[in-house]
Copies of this chain bind each other. A is one copy, B any other.
Amino acid sequence: MNAIRPMAGGEVGRSVPRLESREKVTGRAEYVHNLVVPGLLHAKVFRSTIAHGRIRSIDIAAAESLKGVHAVFTGEMIRKLVAEPYYGPAFHDQPVLALDKVRHVGEPVAVVLASDPYIAAEAVQLITADYEELPAVFDEVEAMTSKAIVHDVLRPAGTFPDLKHLVGRRDTNIALDYQLRRGDVDAAFAAADHVYEHEFHTQQVMHTPLEPMVSLAEPGHECLTIHTASQSPSFVRIEIARLLGWAENQVRVKVPYLGGGFGAKLYIKLEALVACLALMTRRPVKLSLTMEEQFYTITKHASTFRIKSAVSRDGRVTGRRCEVFWNGGAYADIGPRVTQKSGFTAPGPYDIENVSIDSYALYTNRPPAGALRGFGIPQLVWAYESHTDLIARDLGIDPVEFRRRNILREGREQATGTAMRDAGIEAVLDKVAERMLWIEPFDRGTGTIRRGRGVAIGFKASIAPTTSVAIVNVSADGSSVLYMSTVDMGQGSDTAMAQIVAETLGLRTEHIKVVHPDTDVTPYDMATLGSRSTFHMGNAVKLAAEHARDQLKELAASLGLPEGNNYEPKELFKKKYGMQAGNVIGVGSYIPPYSSPEPGTGLSANVTPFWMIGGTGVEVEVDTETGHVRVTKLVNAADLGAPLNPAVVETQLSGGALMQLGFTMFENMDLDAGQVTNASLADYKIPGIHDMPSIIDNQIVEARQTTGPFGAKGVGESATFGVSPAIANAIHDAVGVRLTSLPLTPEAVLRAIRAAAKNPLEG
Tell me whether A582 and B1 are in contact (CB under 8 A): no
Compute how far the CA of A249 lies from the CA of B513 in the bound complex, rounded to whole angstroms: 7
Chain B residues positioned under 8 Å from A523 (CB to CB):
473, 583, 585
Compute how far the CA of A524 lies from the CA of B583 in the bound complex, rounded to whole angstroms: 6
A115 is an interface residue with CB less than 8 A from chain B: no
Please provide the chain A residues from 528 to 587 with a CB less than 8 Å away from any CB of chain B in the complex: 576-583, 585, 587
Tell me whether A520 and B515 are in contact (CB under 8 A): yes
Tell me whether B587 and A587 are in contact (CB under 8 A): yes
Name which of A263-271, A452-460, A477-485, A660-668 contacts chain B. A477-485
Closest Cβ of chain B to A415, distance in Å, is 23
**When A38-B36, A481-B520 are in contact, do A467 and B581 touch as well, CB less than 8 Å?**
yes
Chain B residues positioned under 8 Å from A524 (CB to CB):
475-476, 581-583
Name which of A21-29, A349-357, A388-396, A608-616 contacts chain B. A21-29
Compute how far the CA of A523 lies from the CA of B481 in the bound complex, rounded to whole angstroms: 10
Closest Cβ of chain B to A235, distance in Å, is 9
A606 is an interface residue with CB less than 8 A from chain B: no
Contact of A1 among B28, B246, B471, B577 (CB under 8 A): B246
**When A523-B473, A524-B581 are in contact, do A249 and B467 touch as well, CB less than 8 Å?**
no
Question: Which of A483, A577, A581, A589 neighbours the largest number of chain B CB atoms within 10 Å of its CB?
Answer: A581
A222 is an interface residue with CB less than 8 A from chain B: yes
Tell me whether B520 and A583 are in contact (CB under 8 A): no
A521 is an interface residue with CB less than 8 A from chain B: yes
Contact of A250 among B1, B221, B249, B520 (CB under 8 A): B1
Nearest B residue (CB) for A579: B159
**When A249-B479, A475-B248, A476-B248 are in contact, do A238 and B469 touch as well, CB less than 8 Å?**
no
Tell me whether B4 and A483 are in contact (CB under 8 A): no
Tell me whether B480 and A249 are in contact (CB under 8 A): yes
A187 is an interface residue with CB less than 8 A from chain B: no
Nearest B residue (CB) for A30: B220
A605 is an interface residue with CB less than 8 A from chain B: no
Chain B residues positioned under 8 Å from A475 (CB to CB):
247-249, 524
Tell me whether A28 and B222 are in contact (CB under 8 A): no
Chain B residues positioned under 8 Å from A36 (CB to CB):
38
Compute how far the CA of A207 lies from the CA of B478 in the bound complex, rounded to whole angstroms: 36
Tell me whether A476 and B238 are in contact (CB under 8 A): yes
A635 is an interface residue with CB less than 8 A from chain B: no
Chain B residues positioned under 8 Å from A591 (CB to CB):
576-577, 582
**8 A-B contact pairs sorted by A residue (CB < 8 Å):** A1-B247, A234-B581, A238-B477, A466-B581, A469-B583, A471-B585, A526-B581, A585-B589
